[in-house]
Structure 1
Amino acid sequence: MLSLIKIELNKVSKSKLFFAWLCTIFIVLGISGIIIMGLATDNKLGEFVGQSSKNFRIADKWEGWAIAASLFSSLFTKAAFLIFESYLLSRIIIDEFKRRTIFQLFSYPIPKRKLLWGKIISVILIACIAQFSAYLVIQLLIKLVAILTESNYISVANQLINLAGITFGTVLIGLLPFVLGMIKHSTAVTMLTGFGLAALLSNVSPGSLSNNIVDNLFFLIFASFISLTIVSFSIYTISRQDISTK
């Protein structure tokens, strides 16, 4: 299995992945910045900061911008990298079925199920590293600017273990577009499902920006289990099919 994963990772263009990762970070920062500027202009930034920071008093309209930026960027990072994961699924798996190059691999004396799981695990590894590293980069940038401007900010040093768990769970849930994309071997369906999943999981409960459904441990474990079960059944079904190379 390790050799299969290594082969899949070597097949992925590192430059394209880095460019997509970098663009995703800029998109998250850009959207967060636009929202914060709008809230500050309307003098509503304090309301959002107050939702997640008890006893925090707003003295002017820009105070607390770093806390809001941290919360918004954290929320949008999860959503953006669910779409990023759908892109990985499209490139690494769905495209190979669409172009029928996967059938050459199926001709090797290796179980189809093992080949498919090798691709799935490769997607999980790339998506986890990409999302976790992007979160760290974004939060460190916000922290740096906050220090330079002497603004309050949320410390993430003691949240790394929790963040790693949330990242892993989110990535497992993000495998669901693979199932729908495989129905017609459609990259468009895979990407659209990723967009829908990102929109669904980026909703926050009333009362706090930090009260995101993905941050709920029970939901994360349950949804991850359901996602893995569905993906496992889909892989089992595909591996049992007699696939023609015509």
Structure 2
Amino acid sequence: MLQLLKLEWRKHRLGRYFLSFILCVVGIYGFVIFAALSSKNDIDSVIPSYNDFLTLVTLLTNITFIILGGVILSRVIISEFRSKTINVLFTYPIRRKILMLSKLLIVFALTTGGLFLGTWIMQGLTYFLQPSLGFFEGTFTMQEMLATIPKTITNAIMMGAIALIPLFFGMRKKSTSATITSAVIIGFLINSTVSNGGASFSLSDVIIVPLIFSLLGAGIAYLSIRNIDRKDVV
């Protein structure tokens, strides 16, 4: 399996997505910093506390990396079915299920790992910059930051699984555009926030919602490879 993962990595030149990862982190953090500093002296600050900062970073990171996961998914799987190059892979003396599983693991690992690292890089930057720039009221300690690790890991795993849902839409017509479009819709749907001026609500705040969607993503991944050994590629 490890050898297959390495081959897929080199074949699709997935190392170039590190640049996409960096651009995503810079874009998200730049937006958060701008929002925090521009409203710093307002009565209703956009980011009044560390928890609000973490919530905004998490929402934006979730949306961004679900979309990025859809892009990688379309590149690694959908485009090969669309161009029929998957037929060549299926002639190799390796079970189709193993080949497909390696592709799905790559998408899941890149999405999950990128989301977790991105969130932590931004938290780390804020830990060092907050004392001098004061993005929000008060301070936060390293212990408080470390206490968010379990929640951050859980969130990253669930969003990584949710990023597999676009596989269903992409495989129906072997369409990369349908894959990416559905990733955008799903990302914004799950992480959209509604505010009444005093309180805000997001579907991702209700743990059962992202949990159900993540199980749906895992189920779609399983169904996509369940009969692949006996199924003709058309």
When normalised by structure 2's length, the TM-score is: 0.84
User: Counterpart amino acid of 2:189?
Assistant: L
Match of 2:219 in 1: 229
Distance of 1:6 and 1:28 partners within structure 2: 30
SS at match of 1:108: coil
Match of 1:159 in 2: 148
User: Counterpart amino acid of 1:175?
Assistant: L
Following superposition, the deviation at residue 44 of structure 1 comes to 1.8
Distance of 1:219 and 1:191 partners within structure 2: 21
Following superposition, the deviation at residue 14 of structure 1 comes to 4.9
Residue correspondences, number: 227
1:36 correspondence with 2:36: yes
Distance of 2:108 and 2:13 partners within structure 1: 16
Match of 1:192 in 2: 181
User: Counterpart amino acid of 2:147?
Assistant: N
Superposition map of 1:67-86 within 5 A: 68-86=52-70
Following superposition, the deviation at residue 215 of structure 1 comes to 4.4
Match of 1:58 in 2: none
Identify the range of structure 1 (21-30 vs 220-229) with the bigger mean alpha-carbon deviation.
220-229
Match of 2:6 in 1: 6
User: Counterpart amino acid of 2:81?
Assistant: F
Match of 1:177 in 2: 166
Following superposition, the deviation at residue 177 of structure 1 comes to 0.7
Following superposition, the deviation at residue 219 of structure 1 comes to 2.9
Identify the range of structure 1 (235-244 vs 24-33) with the bigger mean alpha-carbon deviation.
235-244
- Contact kept, 8 Å, 1:94 with 1:185, in 2: the verdict is yes
Distance of 1:153 and 1:178 partners within structure 2: 42
- Contact kept, 8 Å, 2:165 with 2:216, in 1: the verdict is no
User: Counterpart amino acid of 1:127?
Assistant: T
Identify the range of structure 1 (219-228 vs 119-128) with the bigger mean alpha-carbon deviation.
219-228
User: Counterpart amino acid of 1:121?
Assistant: L
Provide the aligned C-alpha RMSD in A: 2.5
Following superposition, the deviation at residue 20 of structure 1 comes to 0.4
1:134 correspondence with 2:123: no
Identify the range of structure 1 (141-150 vs 82-91) with the bigger mean alpha-carbon deviation.
141-150
Distance of 1:153 and 1:96 partners within structure 2: 49
**Structure 2 unpaired stretches of 5+:** none
User: Counterpart amino acid of 1:226?
Assistant: L
Following superposition, the deviation at residue 40 of structure 1 comes to 4.2
User: Counterpart amino acid of 1:196?
Assistant: I
Equivalent in 212, 215, 231 of residue 241 of structure 1: 231
Change (3 A) 1:238 1:135: same
Distance of 1:152 and 1:161 partners within structure 2: 23
Equivalent in 81, 95, 101 of residue 117 of structure 1: 101
- Contact kept, 8 Å, 1:180 with 1:193, in 2: the verdict is yes
1:219 correspondence with 2:203: no
Report the identity percentage.
Answer: 23
Match of 2:18 in 1: 18
Following superposition, the deviation at residue 157 of structure 1 comes to 1.1
Following superposition, the deviation at residue 220 of structure 1 comes to 3.4
SS at match of 2:148: helix
